[in-house]
Amino acid sequence: MQQNLNLYNTLTRKKEVFEPLHAPFVGMYVCGPTVYGEAHLGHARAYVTFDVLYRYLKYLKYKVRYVRNITDVGHLVNDADEGEDKIAKIAKIQHLEPMEVVQHFTNRFHEDMALLNILPPDIEPRASGHILEQIEMIQEILANGFAYEVNGSVYFDVPAYNKDHNYGKLSGRIIEDLLSNTRETEGQHEKRSPLDFALWKNASPEHIMRWPSPWGNGFPGWHLECSAMSRKYLGQTFDIHGGGLDLMFPHHECEIAQSQASNSKSDEAKYWVHNNMITINGQKMGKSLGNFITLSELFSGNKELLEQAYTPMTVRFFILQAHYRSTLDFSNEALQAARKGYTKLMNGLRVLEKMQYPEEGITPDEKLNEELLKLTEDCFRGLNDDMNTARTIASLFNLLKKINSLYLGQLQISHLTRGTFDTIRETYNTLVLDILGLKEEKLGDQAEMLELILSFYKEAKEAKAYDKVDAIRADLKKQGIVIKDLKTGIDWAYEE
RNA sequence: GGUAACGUGGCCGAGUGGCUAGGCUCAGCUCUGCAAAAGCUGCUACAGCGGUUCGAAUCCGCUCGUUACCUCCA
């Protein structure tokens, strides 16, 4: 089996074989949400993407430390330097403490993530809890000559940095181009260059969120928290830094600059991984465009754009059916199709559970075994090729066809070796449940009751009491269960 | 304006030089009391034009179209 994981590295613009810096340990940092609003479909895509990577790395037996932050300070509403703090703004409107806003949306975020079966990170640091580390990093950058203080604020000196370093190496920007295209924004009078960004901002009297620092009372710049916290928990250089494509510039570019300019002197991460955006009617979904769909709207169907509610697993499957570096277009049709595909995959789990390897009469068919084993390998091939979950799912469907054929007796289980049979079952279960992170959404402990109903159904069927048969079918259908009359007996499946 | 990316069949969405993507939809068949489920079969593709090549959806050029980033965003 091809067991080399290849990842596309934004920093080198190539797919590279993943090799940890200090195997078997892997450090992964993903930019978390700014908790000033409900999580939306775009958040789901980012965190599902890195959840699969996290799960897969663990499956590959790496000891992973996954850090995903909560941004609760420093993220400003407008142009990087003069805007209002996003959280403070909501707090003011709702007459709440900023930390109440933070706590509320952090809780909501966790709820949504749990519904999507996204594993919690190993460490979830908050920016406001790491002011000291951020101040320390600023002091290093100042001491190294890549920052300057003005009126209680500290700015990163991009031109000075760019003399010996390459500001723009991640996003492919050229500093001259950036300079010629910079917009005039307020507050630039303090900055020597429009490209400079804030490391520390002096807090105006009405600014509520403030901390003491060597430069007076203020608050840290947005880009700094990720550099400071990733260094604290993962070291100066770690393996994977992830986030949405929209964070590549300026956020991640600034992170690299900060880490290079501090005593870390590194690009932070060896592999920079970016997921693409969700679009709606071909246009990017985003806060600034106001066309985003929150997860709770999606789960409740409570929005004009939505024809119906979609379950968390439908959403997860929808996301996984595209490659993470492609844009993914939202539509009701696509979600509905995802629902059916997801259900089909779930029914496969149940079929596998029911199948048993026969005790005797084994007559292995070499060609068939080979064919089926190849199908199981294909499933991993997609994953290893830059986490192509779309290909993995396609391969799983190919495998599922064979599983269903075996179940129906169109293919004979006795023609498989024990090893092939076990490999099929293990591959399917592991990929669907553990790595893709899909799970059954219905039933649970009602399975026994269902068995009872099915036994009544069988009796009625044998007595040719078709009225009763149809009635049972109709009732179960209301519960999203369809009855299957097989030659070998009676079974059920989720309605697709 | 600068810099990138993309354009695949009714819809979504993989695929980067020759080998079936896959899902959904639609039609037919098998099975069935009738269905459903499942299996099998079929259907309409690679924006356009030109080039490289024995051979291109895949490489190159041009044209058209769409989008993203350059300002907060996953």
A221 and A334 both lie in a single domain: no
A113 and A198 both lie in a single domain: yes
Give the CA A263 to C1' B13 distance in Å.
Answer: 45
pLDDT of residue A359 exceeding 90, the answer is: no
Q: Which CATH number fits the domain that encloses residue A242? A: 3.40.50.620
Give the CA A128 to C1' B34 distance in Å.
Answer: 66
> Which pLDDT does position A81 carry in this prediction?
47
Contact A295, A43 (CB under 8 A): yes
> Which pLDDT does position A386 carry in this prediction?
93
The answer to the question of residue A182 being in a domain is yes
The answer to the question of residue A359 being in a domain is yes
The answer to the question of residue A373 being in a domain is yes
pLDDT of residue A239 exceeding 90, the answer is: yes
Question: What residue numbers bound the domain in which A419 lies?
Answer: 299-435
Give the CA A444 to C1' B63 distance in Å.
Answer: 58
For A259-283, what is the mean pLDDT? 93
The answer to the question of residue A286 being in a domain is no
What confidence category does residue A122 fall into, taking pLDDT thresholds of 50, 70 and 90?
Answer: very high
A223 and A307 both lie in a single domain: no
A31 CB-side CA count, 13 A: 24
A39 and A176 both lie in a single domain: yes
Give the CA A271 to C1' B29 distance in Å.
Answer: 52
For A285-297, what is the mean pLDDT? 86
The answer to the question of residue A477 being in a domain is yes
A220 and A337 both lie in a single domain: no
Predicted ipTM beyond 0.90: yes
Position A282, amino acid: G
For A260-272, what is the mean pLDDT? 95
CB environment A159-173: b (16+ within 10 A), e (fewer):
ebbbeebebbbbbeb
pLDDT of residue A37 exceeding 80, the answer is: yes
Q: Which nucleotide is nearest to A243 (CA to C1')?
A: B74
The answer to the question of residue A118 being in a domain is yes
Q: Which nucleotide is nearest to A396 (CA to C1')?
A: B22
What confidence category does residue A188 fall into, taking pLDDT thresholds of 50, 70 and 90?
Answer: low
> Which pLDDT does position A40 carry in this prediction?
94
What confidence category does residue A87 fall into, taking pLDDT thresholds of 50, 70 and 90?
Answer: confident
What confidence category does residue A320 fall into, taking pLDDT thresholds of 50, 70 and 90?
Answer: very high
Contacts of residue A181, Cβ cutoff 8 Å, sequence gap at least 6: none
d(CA A42, CA A45): 5
The dihedrals phi and psi of A52, each to the nearest 5 degrees, come to: -65, -40
The answer to the question of residue A283 being in a domain is no
Name which of A84, A249, A260 is nearest A181 in CA terms: A249
> Which pLDDT does position A3 carry in this prediction?
63
A452 and A430 both lie in a single domain: no
The answer to the question of residue A281 being in a domain is no
Give the CA A390 to C1' B51 distance in Å.
Answer: 34
What confidence category does residue A354 fall into, taking pLDDT thresholds of 50, 70 and 90?
Answer: confident
pLDDT of residue A74 exceeding 90, the answer is: no
Q: Which nucleotide is nearest to A395 (CA to C1')?
A: B22
A348 and A310 both lie in a single domain: yes
Q: Which nucleotide is nearest to A482 (CA to C1')?
A: B36
> Which pLDDT does position A90 carry in this prediction?
86
pLDDT in tens, A381-396: 999 999 999 999 999 9
What confidence category does residue A116 fall into, taking pLDDT thresholds of 50, 70 and 90?
Answer: very high
For A333-362, what is the mean pLDDT? 91
pLDDT of residue A238 exceeding 50, the answer is: yes
Beta bridge pairs of residue A17? A6
d(CA A4, CA A426): 20
Give the CA A330 to C1' B53 distance in Å.
Answer: 40
Domain end (from A240, A275, A310): A275
For A394-412, what is the mean pLDDT? 92
Domain end (from A215, A241, A275): A275
Average pLDDT, chain A: 90
Q: Which nucleotide is nearest to A278 (CA to C1')?
A: B74
d(CA A36, CA A105): 6
- Residue found by looking up tokens 């996204």 in the block: A118
Interhelix angle A389-408/A332-354, rounded to 10 degrees, is 50
Give the CA A113 to C1' B23 distance in Å.
Answer: 25
Give the CA A246 to C1' B64 distance in Å.
Answer: 28
> Which pLDDT does position A445 carry in this prediction?
64
A26-35, A281-290, A346-355: least confident range: A281-290
pLDDT of residue A2 exceeding 70, the answer is: no
Q: Which nucleotide is nearest to A342 (CA to C1')?
A: B23
Q: Which nucleotide is nearest to A345 (CA to C1')?
A: B23
> Which pLDDT does position A184 carry in this prediction?
52
Position A396, amino acid: L
A268 and A180 both lie in a single domain: yes
State how far the alpha carbon of A118 is from the alpha carbons of A50, A112, A132, A188, A304, in Å. Answer: 9, 9, 30, 41, 27
A451 and A431 both lie in a single domain: no
Number of domains present in the structure of chain A: 3
A118: number of Cβ within 10 Å: 24
Give the CA A457 to C1' B69 distance in Å.
Answer: 60
Position A12, amino acid: T
pLDDT of residue A459 exceeding 80, the answer is: yes
A249 and A379 both lie in a single domain: no
For A443-461, what is the mean pLDDT? 82
A414 and A488 both lie in a single domain: no
For A469-485, what is the mean pLDDT? 88
Domain end (from A415, A435, A455): A435
pLDDT of residue A1 exceeding 60, the answer is: no
pLDDT of residue A79 exceeding 60, the answer is: no
A158 and A194 both lie in a single domain: yes
Q: Which nucleotide is nearest to A492 (CA to C1')?
A: B37
pLDDT of residue A446 exceeding 80, the answer is: no
Chain B nucleotides with an atom closer than 7 Å to a protein C-beta? 1-4, 11-15, 21-25, 31-40, 66-74
Give the CA A283 to C1' B71 distance in Å.
Answer: 18
Give the CA A284 to C1' B70 distance in Å.
Answer: 16
- Residue found by looking up tokens 């492609």 in the block: A326
> Which pLDDT does position A93 carry in this prediction?
86
